[in-house]
Amino acid sequence: MNGCWRTSGALSLALTALPIAAADVDAGRRIYEQGLPVHAQAALGTVQRDVAFNAEQLVCVNCHRRSGLGSGEGEILIPPVTGDLLFRPRSIERPELWGARTEGEGTRPAYTPETLARAIRSGIDAAGRPLDPLMPRYDFDDARMAALIAYLGALSSRDAPGVNATEIHFATVSSDRLAPSSEAALLNVLHAFFASKNAQTRREGRRAAHPPWHKDKQFPAWRTWVLHHWRLTGPRDGWPAQLEAHYRTQPVFAILGGSVGGSWAPVHAFAEAHGVPTLFPHTDQPEAHGYYTFYANEGAVLRARAIAQDLAQRPVQRVIQVTDPHSATSAGAMAFRTLWRGSAEVTDVELPRDAARLVALLAEGSRDAVLWWPDASAAASPPALRAAPRLLYLAGSSPRLPASVPMAAEQVIAIHPYRLPDALEAGIGPLHHWLEARGLQAADPPLMADAFLAATAAGEALMHMNTHFSRHYFIEKLEHGLGRNTFSGYYPRLSSAPGQRFLSKGSYIVELDRSAKPVRHRWVVP
């Protein structure tokens, strides 16, 4: 029954016996994150005093977030519900006046399991005041209530793995498939960033012991950043075991940047399994589903989406996809086949093996569109063509526009999800100046830019976390702030929101002349 307080001896015993069994805590997590009741029955309640809902419509995590540390929307502030904050008093401190207020608005005594159950059921806080009408009143039975409160008691109550009183550990990942010069470039930019960051932290440990009143919460949050290089070797099916071994040796709070010379799937699976936030790995083959990994964009899949959307508006009879043996280009071609809904048939050819076949295909008709997936340097142009396609799409992964057109065509279009040439310096110029100031060469600018983006984004998020070193809270800060990151590298715009894991969502459709000079362009979000 909603709107009144009820209890029983069984409930009192269950609540006062915290922590309860691990199985019940896991049931509490499901209630908190999914709205799934312990016994698979819809748990009803009300919001705004009399609006009924079921347990899958208003889920705790939607407002209080996975971390339990709350959120805000407009003028509505969602308070934290972690055990370390619920089960202690809330007071209004005025350290500048050497005083504190323990009564009145904004204060409350510590919750007990019983008063917390009353708040969840009836909307009455620990001080006996009504909660905001936007806070749902849940009609949970005794078992569900005990499980939920047990879960809240443990939620974000400890620092995440990789964090101790003085250090916060990060990793970056590479493999023996990555060119040595690129691996060195990745490590150079991260080591330099960590050195600069730690130089600002040198005396913060001493200040934390005796801070002034207005910075008593700022200084204790400082940690020395420690970088670990996880290098994967040998066949890809051995990488999961290597990642596990690295993590056992030293757990890390997050993974920053990195590149493995191909699909990121093994690292993505590891991060999801262990709940390790991962920021901006440099890959053209990101994974589509996940919570813990942030990618700059969808890579080859984004370009395939842009082509499919643009091509659907054009009269073509056949689409010829030109790839090379490189797996990244194959991923784009496969994505296009999956996405294509047009009537034109799709034919694949691989260069240089099928060069003669390509010539023969183009000689058969005049309403073909060619999708050229390799970068200009990835595959040799086919021999002199007897016929040119009406439409040629260049869909390589380079963040710079093509320097030349690989074959004659009536119309040439580059799919370019990066900054245009006239805006490129504004995007990556700050990185070049930063590297120059530290005596470093821009050996692999796109890889270095993604690593620098990851490090700056991590620093910005941690700056707003105070001492709440929760990985979920870290992710929530990233979701809230990545769209305002001052550095976006090669990407024209970044935007973030809860649940979004691809930060740059669109691409330029750039029409080129036969000398590869841009004629006109437009931005699309397919």
pLDDT digits (tens, 9 = 90+) for 92-126: 666 555 556 666 677 889 999 999 999 999 999 99
pLDDT of 68 above 80: yes
In this model, does residue 240 exceed pLDDT 90? Answer: yes
| Spatial contact of 340 and 366, defined as CB atoms under 8 Å apart | no
Instruction: At 228, give phi and psi (nearest 5°).
Output: -120, 135
In which element (H, E) is residue 392 found? strand 391-394
- pLDDT, one tens digit per residue, over 264-309 is 999 999 999 999 999 999 999 999 899 999 999 999 999 999 999 9
Nearest to 347 by CA among 338, 358, 355, 339: 358
Structure tokens at 339: 């996405």
CA dist 87 to 30, 129, 130, 317, Å? 22, 17, 18, 68
Interacting residues of 1 by C-beta distance below 8 A, sequence separation 6+:
139
Residue from 426, 399, 487, 452 nearest 188 by CA: 452
Confidence of residue 422 (pLDDT cuts 50, 70, 90): very high
193 phi/psi in degrees, rounded to 5 = -65, -45
Number of residues that make up the chain: 526
How many helices (H) and strands (E) would you count in the chain?
16, 19
Token look-up 């996405």 returns 339
Please classify residue 338 by burial: count the beta carbons closer than 10 Å to its beta carbon, then call 0-12 exposed, 13-18 middle and 19+ buried: exposed
Rounded to two decimals, the pTM is 0.87
Which pLDDT does position 201 carry in this prediction? 65
> Is the model's pLDDT at 210 over the cut of 70?
no
Given a cut of 80, is residue 170 above it in pLDDT? yes
**Phi, psi torsion values for 303, nearest 5 degrees:** -65, -35
Pairing relation of β-strands 45-47 and 137-138?
antiparallel
